[in-house]
Amino acid sequence: MRWPWRTRRSNSRVVLQLGRQQLAYVQAPNSAIAPLAPTRWGVLDLGQQGDEAQLQQQLAGLGLAGGEVLALLDADAYQILKIDTPNLPQDELKAAARWQIKDLLEVPLDELTLDVMHVGDDQPRALKQLFVVAGSNRAIERVSRLGAATGLPLDVVDIAETALRNLQTAAAAAEDLAKRATAALLLQGGHCLFTICAHGELFYTRRLDWDARLLKRATQTTAAKADAPAPLGYEYMPGDDLAYGAGSGLDAELESSPLVLELQRSIDVWERSWPDLPLARLYLVVPEHGQELASLLQRELGLRTSAIDPAGLFPGFEPATHGPEAYAACLPLLGALLRQDERAL
């Protein structure tokens, strides 16, 4: 959602994500074209008491003012729902959506700010749907107050789903897959965000719980055997090239991952719902061991999988710059740097 009364500034773009205990920030030239080199990025700590006055002082001291400012909402600060598109003029869709979702929300409507966007691209289809984003007024006001106090008035409030869409679209374009459907899995803390996009637009999204055992499983299985890239469309029987049981060094409980099962369910739903858009790739956006996890998920899902290297799209964005914790916190913000506002509602 963009504030219509803001005038667009063009010299830089700043993305902020304010959590309960920290603020992650990224600054880069104002452009929606990768590669894009961030000029500053890092994390500011609020401390145990969540001292926002101290945070304002720290943020003001960074000297980030002067560019377009985007706030990326935390996952617990909004809901994203899908509804059938009402047969109404464009300017009435938001009001109609408000009443359609009122019984699906976890908090009262008057505590939320709503925005809508079309599901998928603009191809004519029999069934048209909308994503409805319901953001917490309190969370939006909190980051707005912080920005206003530090010379960073908000221009846009964004969400992780569209930021991840931008990131996977850039990765797909680099592989000449811009017109194909691709999936992406973002790891942030103990949770994952799964999206499917095609033609630069978001079609499908789910929030999933991370399975920490996958990391152990991935690093142990790939240490013994390096995987060659599989060709597109290759056939795979789950279980190939994996050695379980005695002598494998893996616990039996690792053979079945809830996350892998949920990913497979999502892929199955997609294949049934969109048979004309087969998935060409699954992209991983993870702070560490991306290639090992990609190899494991490729074997388990039968879908060619690769880890996005952020430094390839954002030169200079590497863990060594500010440490692994800051790197992991800022990783989800990168896609917001690539935001475009060309599409109408």
Task: Give the CATH number, domain containing residue 276.
Answer: 3.30.420.40
Whether residues 94 and 181 fall in one domain: no
pLDDT band at 203 (very low <50, low <70, confident <90, very high): very high
Residue 345 lies in a domain: no
pLDDT band at 3 (very low <50, low <70, confident <90, very high): low
Least confident residue range of 78-82, 103-107, 187-191, 249-253? 249-253
Whether residues 28 and 122 fall in one domain: yes
pLDDT for position 21: 86
Whether residues 152 and 37 fall in one domain: yes
Inform me whether the pLDDT recorded for 138 exceeds 50.
yes
pLDDT, mean of residues 319-323 = 92
Whether residues 238 and 303 fall in one domain: yes
| Encoded tokens for 53 | 């006055």
CATH of the domain at 36: 3.30.420.380
pLDDT for position 168: 97
Residue 1 lies in a domain: no
Q: Higher-confidence residue: 126 or 170?
A: 170
How many residues appear in the chain?
A: 345
Phi, psi for residue 198 in degrees, rounded to 5: -155, 145
Residue 237: helix, strand or coil by DSSP?
A: coil
| Structural domain containing residue 213 | 171-308
Whether residues 188 and 247 fall in one domain: yes
pLDDT for position 345: 46
Q: Higher-confidence residue: 46 or 226?
A: 46
Question: 229: which DSSP letter?
Answer: P
Q: Which ranges of the chain would DSSP assign to H, the alpha helix?
A: 52-61, 93-100, 137-149, 160-174, 213-224, 258-273, 290-301, 310-313, 319-322, 324-330
Whether residues 287 and 317 fall in one domain: no
Number of domains making up the chain: 2
Residue 231: helix, strand or coil by DSSP?
A: coil
Residue 153 lies in a domain: yes
Inform me whether the pLDDT recorded for 50 exceeds 70.
no
pLDDT band at 91 (very low <50, low <70, confident <90, very high): confident
| Encoded tokens for 242 | 């994996």
Best CA proximity match to 232, nearest among 278, 274, 201? 278
Inform me whether the pLDDT recorded for 150 exceeds 60.
yes
- Indicate the helix (H) or strand (E) that contains 195: strand 191-198
Question: 303: which DSSP letter?
Answer: S
pLDDT band at 250 (very low <50, low <70, confident <90, very high): very low
